[in-house]
Structure 1
Amino acid sequence: MMSLREAAMALGTVASANAASRFQQVSTDSRTLLPGSLFVALKGPNHDGHDHLAVVAAAGAAGAIVDHRCSVDLPQLVVADTRRALGVVAAYWRQRLPLQLVGVTGSNGKTTVKEMIAAILRQLGSTLATEGNLNNDIGVPLTLLKARPFHQYAVIEMGMSAAGELTWLSSITRPDVAVITNAGPAHLQQFRDVNEIARAKGEILSSLSSKGTAVINGDDPAADFWRSLAEPRKIIDFALDNPAAAIRGYWSATRSGGLLKVEGVAGEWQTELSLLGRANGINALAAVAVAHLLGATPEQCQQGLASLQPVSGRLQLINLSAGGQLINDCYNANPASLGNAIEVLAQMPGRKTLVLGDMGELGEQSEDFHREAGAVAAAAGIDRLITIGSQSRLAADAFASLRAGGAHHYADIDQCCAELPGFDSNDYLLVKGSRSAGLERLVEFLIERANGDLPEVLH
């Protein structure tokens, strides 16, 4: 991969010993480190990687990046900030890679869009993609450092929770294609409003190469602002509602996914998706836009999209063999993604029940957003709203004021599990909440109670 001397040069430091030694991987976890790896000693609120240097030395590490010299028989590169140094080494490695790199950000849909793009690009050649949602200033460098000369493409998901974070991640990755899926009300504890979030999302364009392309959601209110940031570089937009977009689509929902018709510069064709929700229609258009730019044919786009299955916890439809359908969407929640989920549930036949946990990081507007959630669910024709947590009680109150007797509130998951009634064959139940709500535990309980064994995942 590279020598300790090269890494030291990138960091502006020197290796304490064996500068010519080469490392083949980079690790921040002493438990999984392989021989010949460079260890980066990160510090967190409950851990300090420097405490494990003896372990990594015994495991055969080639060296370590540290913030102070430690009395361990291991070559060490001393820097002021090991977390920052991880990004610097990744940026140095990126400069040596001939691959086409796609960066993806947005308030909602970025993980799904990343998976869609990667699925299509794998039809073209060797493709590296972010695993899961390892999209912060640790996950992005570690993903990039897994790239090898044989990779033709890399699809890197980039998240942020504060202004300036995407500027740093973009400087590390230097994307050839930068995708912005949308800007919505998330992380409002750090931002005053959605306009500030849109500006922060636009930071991904700060290190877009001069010959690069910005791929922008033409339906988003911030689209013109992002275009202004991208100019004079090439821009391609995608949309379900904007007829002037370069790549346009039409979405028809089905009980198990949807039919997407594509028009515009990527040709005219259609494909079926095993993914619920109109939001996945716009996600697919983003992926098609990127794939078209990189030379994919409509057939390759169709093949890639057809291979996708829902990410666990994201609108995942599960058949409860004892009766009813469960839609597991508990991976995370904000007002925009909740609106998408309610739209999906409202289109289902039978009795529709929404289980809502608290939505986190909404700042001073949290109470208003939760009240609005209850009102939106009632207006959409949801039959029952079950809420768990202190903030979601406000949603239950708003729902009950519009649909008397349809709301039930539980203080916590344990109470809900103990008192929640069973479901019959015409029930659709969608579970939604922020990660902090821990609703995956409720999903597991519902599956076990209904089936007594592993569920049958419909898609």
Structure 2
Amino acid sequence: MFVGGVQTVRERTIRAVAALAGAADPAIEGTAGPDVVIDSRLATPGAVFVALPGEHVDGHDFVAAAAANGAVAAICTHPTDAALAHLVVPDALQGLTRLATGVIAEAKSSGLRTVGITGSSGKTSTKDLLGQVLAAHGATISPKGSFNNEIGVPLTALRVTDDTRFLVSEMGARGGGHIAWLCRIVPPDVAVVLNVGHAHLGEFGSVEAIALAKGELVEALTPQGWAVLNADDPLVAAMAARTRARLAHYSLTGEPAGDLRVWAEHLRADDVQRHSFTLRAAGAGDDGAIDCAEPVELQGPGRHQVVNALAAATAALALGVPPVTVAGALSGAVAQSAWRMQLMPRADGVLVVNDAYNANPDSMRAALVTVAGMRRAGGRLIAVLGDMLELGAAAADEHEKLGALAAELGFEVVAVGQLADEIARGVRRGFGTVTRVSDVQEAVAVAQANLQPADVVVVKASRGLALDRVADALAAAGETA
């Protein structure tokens, strides 16, 4: 039960902000808040601006601009000429981190419940689903997009107000210790681990090292917490041995083990691979015994979204959200973050699927399998595929496997990027059709050529390739066709 106050603002004295951030007492009266920003253009009246150093620019150069937009204080490493309170700290990021840590500690003492989500793929989609489920039960903070690093997590945490009941944090890792560090800012009451795959393989070196890093999330739990684990992923299920918390398992293949057990039955898919199923749960959550069978109809396409929905449902049920509320919210949930299996139907009948936000071998497979299920009578499947980044020594082999899978599923492939030749080699190995292109403009031209009303086009690559431009151009072409 939430027992916090009813105030809806995060304003506090400038001196209190300084104390939380680890700055010397500025001896300045007045209040700051509610917003904390790192972009001077986003400063609002009363805001606190954090002057982070950047690769190309220094946040201290923009303190005056933040002040002009209404900021009343800046967390910085040295004073500037700007007319606002300077909260001087040894390191601006550390100041931001200390401020967020203090705010969350205060909020948790008043009843805030926190959820951390990690995994090699599906973090943002699951976070978006869970945010909407929890919001149906109480005031919830959940970031839009993928704010899952040392800057995004504290900035999201600083949106918490006195009436916030739930905070959902997406937690990424690019090395060992990263998630443990994020958990010191936002200690989780519920830790959700989705999967262990090949994303960032080049940085970690092995899947086992990835599993070791992801498991830091469940290690941060207290015995009163909940470890929400994917029973269908052996590396995730094994994390049960690394936590003191209660265990909640979810599965797509049948009833798993655990104090709380969640699974799906009677899966069905429509013509664009939106799935419906019966949400089953047994065991007990924070509010007592659970035994339910509730219908769910997801709005997003893909069988993998059922797995994401089960993860979100398990976390919510563990926190005491009623099953009927969970099922209803999952059925009404819509995409919160751009370029993730975004359906873009054209007026001429062509369907463009924009999944260009990011890519790794696991998410590529899920996307291609999902879109293959959308094939329409008399129509073709076309895939514009680009590089999957951060795969290290495995990159060439994984891209060739990707091409072979696309050919096996019946896609005509347009390959772009530094590893387009490897994609093309895989397509040819699978006796498929492939065109190697040099840039976005050529990719659009080749993909657009000879499109017919029943065709389905999917666009996917790592974010660094910005292939969302291809999807947008193809969708726009339908307006003038």
TM-score bracket for the superposition, by shorter chain length? over 0.9
Could you tell me which amino acid in structure 2 is paired with residue 80 of structure 1?
P
Offset at 1:188? Answer: 2.1
Q: Distance in 2 between matches of 1:317 and 1:378?
A: 22
State which of 237, 250, 255 in structure 1 corresponds to 2:271: 255
Q: Distance in 1 between matches of 2:418 and 2:225?
A: 46
State which of 33, 36, 46 in structure 2 corresponds to 1:36: 46
Residues 22, 95 of structure 2: 8 Å contact kept: no
| Structure 1 residue 291 corresponds to structure 2 residue 316 | yes
Could you tell me which amino acid in structure 1 is paired with residue 442 of structure 2?
Q
What whole-Å deviation, never above 9, does each CA across 1:226-261 have from its counterpart, x for those lacking one? Answer: 21222x211101111354241111433222301122
Q: Which runs of structure 2 are paired with 1:391-430 in the superposition (5 Å)?
A: 391-404=419-432, 406-420=433-447, 421-430=449-458
> Quick check: 241-250 or 16-25, which moved more?
16-25
What whole-Å deviation, never above 9, does each CA across 1:254-289 have from its counterpart, x for those lacking one? Answer: 223011222231522221112111110000001110
> Quick check: 36-45 or 12-21, which moved more?
12-21
> Quick check: 246-255 or 367-376, which moved more?
246-255
What whole-Å deviation, never above 9, does each CA across 1:4-50 have from its counterpart, x for those lacking one? Answer: 33333334431333166444332212112112222211110111111
Offset at 1:157? Answer: 1.6
Counterpart for residue 386 of structure 1: 414
CA RMSD of aligned residues (A): 1.9
Structure 1 residues 441 and 12: alpha-carbon distance in aligned structure 2, compared to 1, 3 A threshold: closer
> Quick check: 264-273 or 117-126, which moved more?
264-273
Residues 171, 206 of structure 1: 8 Å contact kept: no
Counterpart for residue 7 of structure 1: 17
Residues 5, 15 of structure 1: 8 Å contact kept: yes
What whole-Å deviation, never above 9, does each CA across 1:134-158 have from its counterpart, x for those lacking one? Answer: 2211111111111101111111222
What whole-Å deviation, never above 9, does each CA across 1:52-97 have from its counterpart, x for those lacking one? Answer: 2223334443322111233444322221211122111100000111
Offset at 1:186? Answer: 0.9
Counterpart for residue 306 of structure 1: 331
Unaligned runs of 5+ in 2: 1-10, 283-289
Q: Distance in 1 between matches of 2:86 and 2:395?
A: 47
Counterpart for residue 166 of structure 1: 179
State which of 219, 222, 238 in structure 1 corresponds to 2:235: 222
State which of 162, 171, 190 in structure 1 corresponds to 2:203: 190
Q: Distance in 1 between matches of 2:37 and 2:251?
A: 40
Residues 170, 206 of structure 1: 8 Å contact kept: no
Counterpart for residue 176 of structure 1: 189
Counterpart for residue 7 of structure 2: none
SS in 2 for 1:107: coil
Q: Distance in 2 between matches of 1:442 and 1:21?
A: 47
SS in 2 for 1:332: coil
> Quick check: 201-210 or 337-346, which moved more?
201-210
Residues 100, 152 of structure 1: 8 Å contact kept: yes
| Structure 1 residue 238 corresponds to structure 2 residue 250 | yes
Counterpart for residue 74 of structure 2: 64
Could you tell me which amino acid in structure 2 is paired with residue 403 of structure 1?
F
Structure 1 residues 409 and 18: alpha-carbon distance in aligned structure 2, compared to 1, 3 A threshold: same
Q: Distance in 1 between matches of 2:457 and 2:67?
A: 51
Could you tell me which amino acid in structure 1 is paired with residue 436 of structure 2?
H
TM-score between both structures, scaled by the size of structure 2: 0.89
Counterpart for residue 396 of structure 2: 367
